[in-house]
Amino acid sequence: MKQAILSAAFLLAVVHLSFAKAHFSNQAIGDKEKVFADSSLLQGEINPEMLTEVMNAIGLHQDIELKKANVLNIEASVSHGKRYVLYNPEFIAWISKLTKSKWAAMALLAHEVGHHLNGHTLKKGGSKPALELEADEFAGFILHRLGASLEESQEVMKYIARPEITNTHPARASRMLAIQSGWNRAIDNTATIAKGESLPLHINTGN
């Protein structure tokens, strides 16, 4: 297992990374109604109940396995027909301590679930900006359902998303807008999701 303390080089690299591949200046943080990260998150442990919360928010049975793994940060993966969310405990501890909130880890988790439910892990070619935006919008929808404010839903992007677009991930501003779009969709109480279907959360990126 890697050393428990993140190296300075690792920290600098992670700050500029987006949500991980799906197998394939710090701003002030307001204290109003903040839901602080629990001790398990601060130690790099994602409680499986968090994954259950995400699935319950859309009325689906929990059939995704959460596992610690030797990955850069967090990613959705499929192996032998089973769906996984793999995460690096050092990364989770780092982002949870930085934001002092559970919502960063919850946003990461919801994003990866979005990759699974939108079928991204079944496609070849790895991460693409359009797919990342779909997963971001899904995460915004879920976080609103779970009680996060828009600011709490978007906060993790301030630390991990690049300001410019890359071959695999959108620019930070686009990702913030995608989260906002999903969050706003959840306000509509008539939004429904049929079991076994992907969320109809697709946005036109103009590309």
CATH of the domain at 90: 3.30.2010.10
183 against 127, higher pLDDT: 183
Residue 110 domain flag? yes
Cα 76 from Cα 51, distance rounded (Å): 13
The pLDDT tens digits for 75-107 are: 999 999 999 999 999 999 999 999 999 999 999
The count of C-alpha atoms lying within 13 angstroms of the C-alpha of 83, restricted to the half-sphere facing its C-beta, is 18
- Number of domain units in the chain: 1
Coil vs helix vs strand at 201: coil
Q: Rounded to whole angstroms, how far apart are CA atoms 34 and 90?
A: 23
pLDDT for 1-21, tens place per residue? 334 334 444 443 444 444 444
Assigned domain for 73 exists = yes
Examine residue 168 and state whether it is found in any structural domain, yes or no: yes
Looking at the predicted structure, is the pLDDT value of residue 193 above 80?
no
Under the banding of pLDDT at 50, 70 and 90, the label for residue 120 is: very high
In a domain, residue 167? The reply is yes
Q: Are 16 and 71 in contact (CB under 8 A)?
A: no
Secondary structure (3-state) at 75: strand
CA 186 → CA 8, 116, 140, distances in Å? 38, 19, 8
Residue 108 β-bridge partners:
none
What is the pTM for the complete model shown?
0.77
Whole domain around residue 54: which residue ranges? 37-185
Whether the per-residue pLDDT at 52 is higher than 50: the answer is yes
